[in-house]
Amino acid sequence: MKVYLPRDAAALALGANDVAEALLSEARARGIDLTLVRNGSRGMIWLEPLLEIDTPEGRIGFGPVVPEDIAAILNAPKTHLKALGLVEALPWMARQTRLTFARCGVIDPLSLEDYEAHGGLSGLRRALAMDAASIVVEVTQSGLRGRGGAGFPTGIKWETVRGATADRKYIVCNADEGDSGTFADRMIMEGDPFTLIEGMIIAGLGVGATKGFVYLRSEYPDAIAVMNEAVVIARAAGLLGASVLGTGPAFDMEIRVGAGAYVCGEETSLLNSLEGKRGVVRAKPPLPALQGFMGKPTVVNNVISLATVPVIFEKGAAFYRDFGLGRSRGTIPLQIAGNVARGGLFETAFGLSLGEIVDDIAGGTRTGRPVKAVQVGGPLGAYFPRSKFDTPFGYEEFDGQGGLIGHAGVVVFDDSADMLSMARFAFEFCAVESCGKCTPCRIGAVRGVETVDRIARGDADAIPLLTDLCETMKDGSLCALGGFTPYPVMSALTHFPDDFATTRKAAE
Amino acid sequence: MPDTTYRALPPEEIRTRTEEVLAAHAHLEGALLPILHEIQLSFGFIPQAAVQPIAEGLNIGRAEVHGVITFYHDFRDAPAGRHVVKICRAEACQAQGANALADATLARLGLEWHGTTANGAVTIEPVYCLGLCACGPAAMVDGKVVGRVDTARMDAILAEAGA
């Protein structure tokens, strides 16, 4: 009997290890020959821990499972109260276009055999037969843009590094996924680590880099463990080392652990941190593509950007580019979070409306109360009211509505949310995490908290001051931390004026 | 995390361990963060006595080492409690009741953020996102993740930690 139970941190946080223990002891007691695969998560977090049993018809699911369920599931799986039927046929799964996450939740994350049996390494093999310029052209033609938030075309970044002359070049993977509401990086690293490794190797081939780093945040101990193991396995299999798969040039990589600074998700601050310095933002230019890690040409890409590279090479640039909307090509792993009935990861072509995502896919709020606001793109993303629910999910489309898609986290709040408090929190967070290099961010964040407090006390004069402060931070900050904190603040003020006005009236 | 709260560390022990760590990381590019993580893993914090040897080993100033230690939230210059409970304060957890959970926890223990209970059992810290945004409020107890934490669950965690 073959069963699957995720080792994904969300599943662990909801008790997967206790379920695994119950499963193994029950199987021993019954003399069942049980193979337990600790897979990644399918992304249906509201069903975690999701147990899957392999059957001739396919994998059938049960969830959310507690240890007490195990005996009854083994007695009569098909009629159990928590039986979900074929996992692949569940609406959440069937409606997705899983390209980057095709293997996540399906395979044993640390089995290279499993990985290859599901299409892994075929992209790399194709890339190994191409010259560097053609590799970069393939990425450019796929239309892939940086999934970390900035949306910069990945191929153009690679071309800059490829064209630079240096004795050493680097591939740096930004796995400092600090944005609230995002967990796609964590899920792919825990559920399909080899796809990230393969993507980084292809990047190395494309730009002529032989060394890679994954800068992984310390808040993700489970992802760190899986990535470290995967690198060891990849090295032993000859995927990494002196010659990639025995035919290519050298490529090796290291997993480096961050130290709890949100700002290190900003690429120049990340590079400083990786070099062993304070994670202070660097002024650009010089671009990291020309003077990055240790002053050498460096590709800095988000986890999802790099993890999407293998499927682009496996299926071809045109295949990938044919999904999407406008200038947002391919698929995007939406991370649906906060107060939602169904939260998790949903990979789909760009173009779904925010309303479809929140009302239809997520099923509204978990509390059952009306949706008040949706923050898209992490703590630096704007709060969207219902009136903007027709906005299609795409880089330009969200920009046009005064927002950003960021790393595609969608955080839903019900009507108990107080938007003035959320605006205050945005400044508070900025003050805690500011690297201190530029004044608008370092001082502005603190003044912002004070100004919001004045509004809360009923001081109407503080509102234009807040607007003015946001203008200054937006225009004057060195990076997105100070520069984008005005997004949540101003969107809260603009779209939810009652939360700023009621308190004022109450005080008058 | 090792229990170092009530034991004064002999300076020679710190120096010896620091030199071991330095030697093990000497080949790395940008070795300071991995070194500091390893030192903290060894002692539960970064002892002042480790700063000088690290500076010498990497051929940088003590001020630079100090600057790096103080920049990052993870590094401590004093031991934490025997158990560290981190409660997520980020937006997705707030949407699921994290503020009420944090307020109740701090009030119950009579602590502010970063505070340690009088018996040295538990330190409560804020964390900004554990990537458990669809199953919040989230917490991390000595490096282990916990989701959908309500006050009852937190009470059980704190009781087990001896708070």
> If you average pLDDT over residues A482-507, what whole number do you get?
85
**Band of residue A502 on the pLDDT scale cut at 50, 70, 90:** low
> If you average pLDDT over residues A205-233, what whole number do you get?
98
Residue extents of the structural domains in chain B? 11-71, 83-161
Residue B2 has pLDDT above 50, yes or no: no
**Band of residue B9 on the pLDDT scale cut at 50, 70, 90:** confident
- Report the mean per-residue pLDDT for chain A: 97
pLDDT digits 0-9 by tens, A300-338? 999 999 999 999 999 999 999 999 999 999 999 999 999
Residue A508: per-residue pLDDT: 46
How close, in Å, is residue B97 to chain A by CA atoms? 9
A222·B145 Cβ contact <8 A = yes
pLDDT digits 0-9 by tens, B24-63? 998 999 999 999 999 999 999 999 999 999 999 999 999 9
The 10 Å CB-count burial string (b at 16+, else e) for A383-412 is bbbbebbebbbbbebbeebebbbbbbbbbb
Three-class SS state of A31: coil
How far is Cα A441 from Cα A266, in angstroms, rounded to an integer? Answer: 14
How far is Cα A292 from Cα A274, in angstroms, rounded to an integer? Answer: 11
A419-507 is classed CATH 3.30.300.20: no
Cβ-based contacts of B84 with chain A (< 8 Å)? none
Per 3-state DSSP, what percentage of chain B is helix, strand, and coil (rounded to 5)? 45, 10, 40
Residue A21: per-residue pLDDT: 98
Instruction: Using a CB–CB cutoff of 8 Å, tell me whether A418 touches chain B.
Output: no
> If you average pLDDT over residues A391-401, what whole number do you get?
97
Interface of B with A in 29-48 (CB under 8 A): 29-34, 36-37
Residue A504 has pLDDT above 50, yes or no: no
How far is Cα A458 from Cα B121, in angstroms, rounded to an integer? Answer: 42
Q: Give yes or no for a contact between B66 and B51, defined as CB atoms under 8 angstroms apart.
A: yes
Instruction: Using a CB–CB cutoff of 8 Å, tell me whether B98 touches chain A.
Output: no
How far is Cα A442 from Cα A431, in angstroms, rounded to an integer? Answer: 6
Residue B8: per-residue pLDDT: 75
A261·B71 Cβ contact <8 A = yes
Residue extents of the structural domains in chain A? 2-94, 112-321, 324-414, 419-507
Instruction: Using a CB–CB cutoff of 8 Å, tell me whether B66 touches chain A.
Output: no
Of A48, A180, A273, the CB nearest to B90: A180
Find out whether the peptide bond into A64 is cis, omega within 30 degrees of 0.
yes
Instruction: Using a CB–CB cutoff of 8 Å, tell me whether A46 touches chain B.
Output: yes
Place of tokens 């609406």: A91
Length of chain B: 163
Q: Say what angle helices A132-142 and A303-315 make with each other, to 10 degrees.
A: 100
Look up the ipTM and state it. Answer: 0.95
A180·B29 Cβ contact <8 A = no
Residue B1 has pLDDT above 50, yes or no: no
Residue B5 has pLDDT above 70, yes or no: no
How far is Cα A61 from Cα A82, in angstroms, rounded to an integer? Answer: 8
How close, in Å, is residue B66 to chain A by CA atoms? 10
Tally A–B CB contacts below 8 A.
160
Cβ-based contacts of A276 with chain B (< 8 Å)? 30-33, 58, 68
pLDDT digits 0-9 by tens, A252-302? 999 999 999 999 999 999 999 999 999 999 999 999 999 999 999 999 999
CA atoms within 13 A on the CB side of B33: 28
Residue A19 has pLDDT above 70, yes or no: yes
pLDDT digits 0-9 by tens, A399-417? 999 999 999 999 999 999 9
DSSP assignments along A267-299, one per residue: HHHHHHHHTTS--PPPPSSSPTTTS-GGGS-EE
Which residue blocks in A322-418 are alpha helix, DSSP H?
354-355, 395-400
A337·B134 Cβ contact <8 A = yes
> Burial, A33: exposed, middle or buried (Cβ in 10 Å; 0-12, 13-18, 19+)?
exposed
Instruction: Using a CB–CB cutoff of 8 Å, tell me whether A335 touches chain B.
Output: yes
B132·A293 Cβ contact <8 A = no
> If you average pLDDT over residues B82-102, what whole number do you get?
98
Find out whether the peptide bond into A6 is cis, omega within 30 degrees of 0.
no
Of A14, A259, A422, the CB nearest to B135: A14
Q: Give yes or no for a contact between A297 and A290, defined as CB atoms under 8 angstroms apart.
A: yes
B133·A260 Cβ contact <8 A = no
Instruction: Using a CB–CB cutoff of 8 Å, tell me whether A273 touches chain B.
Output: yes
How many other β-carbons are positioned within 10 Å of the β-carbon of residue B131? 34
How far is Cα A394 from Cα A351, in angstroms, rounded to an integer? Answer: 6
Nearest one of B37, B115, B47 to A258, comparing CA atoms: B37
**Band of residue B4 on the pLDDT scale cut at 50, 70, 90:** very low
> If you average pLDDT over residues B99-109, what whole number do you get?
98
Cβ-based contacts of B147 with chain A (< 8 Å)? 10, 13-14
Q: Which residues are CB-contacts of A134 (< 8 A; sequence separation ≥ 6)?
A: none
- Report the mean per-residue pLDDT for chain B: 95
Residue A63 has pLDDT above 70, yes or no: yes
Residue A501: per-residue pLDDT: 84
Cβ-based contacts of A219 with chain B (< 8 Å)? 127, 129-131, 140
Q: What is the pTM of this model?
A: 0.97
pLDDT digits 0-9 by tens, A367-387? 999 999 999 999 999 999 999
Cβ-based contacts of B33 with chain A (< 8 Å)? 256-259, 273-274, 276
A331-338 and A409-414 beta bridge pairing? parallel
- Testing the interface with A: which of B129, B130, B149 to mutate, by most A Cβ within 10 A? B129
- Testing the interface with A: which of B91, B125, B127, B150 to mutate, by most A Cβ within 10 A? B91
Q: What are phi and psi of B132, to 5 degrees?
A: -115, 45
Instruction: Using a CB–CB cutoff of 8 Å, tell me whether B55 touches chain A.
Output: no
Instruction: Using a CB–CB cutoff of 8 Å, tell me whether A366 touches chain B.
Output: yes
Given 1.20.1600.10, 3.40.50.720, 3.40.50.11540, 1.10.1040.10, which CATH number is that of A112-321? 3.40.50.11540
Of B30, B94, B130, the CB nearest to A274: B30
Of B31, B92, B147, the CB nearest to A13: B147
Q: How far apart are the first and last CA of chain B?
A: 16
Three-class SS state of A145: strand
Interface of A with B in 75-94 (CB under 8 A): none
The CATH fold of domain A324-414: Ubiquitin-like (UB roll) (3.10.20)
In CATH, the architecture of A2-94 is: 3-Layer(aba) Sandwich (3.40)
A45·B134 Cβ contact <8 A = yes
A231: left (phi over 0), alpha (psi -120 to 50) or beta: alpha
A180·B138 Cβ contact <8 A = no
**Band of residue B7 on the pLDDT scale cut at 50, 70, 90:** low
How far is Cα A220 from Cα B83, in angstroms, rounded to an integer? Answer: 18
pLDDT digits 0-9 by tens, B108-133? 999 999 999 999 999 999 999 999 99
Nearest 5°: the CA angle A230, A232, A238 is: 100
How close, in Å, is residue B98 to chain A by CA atoms? 10
The 10 Å CB-count burial string (b at 16+, else e) for A329-348 is bbbbbbbbbbbbebbbbbbb
Of B31, B134, B145, the CB nearest to A276: B31
B92·A409 Cβ contact <8 A = yes
A425·B91 Cβ contact <8 A = yes
In CATH, the architecture of B83-161 is: 3-Layer(aba) Sandwich (3.40)
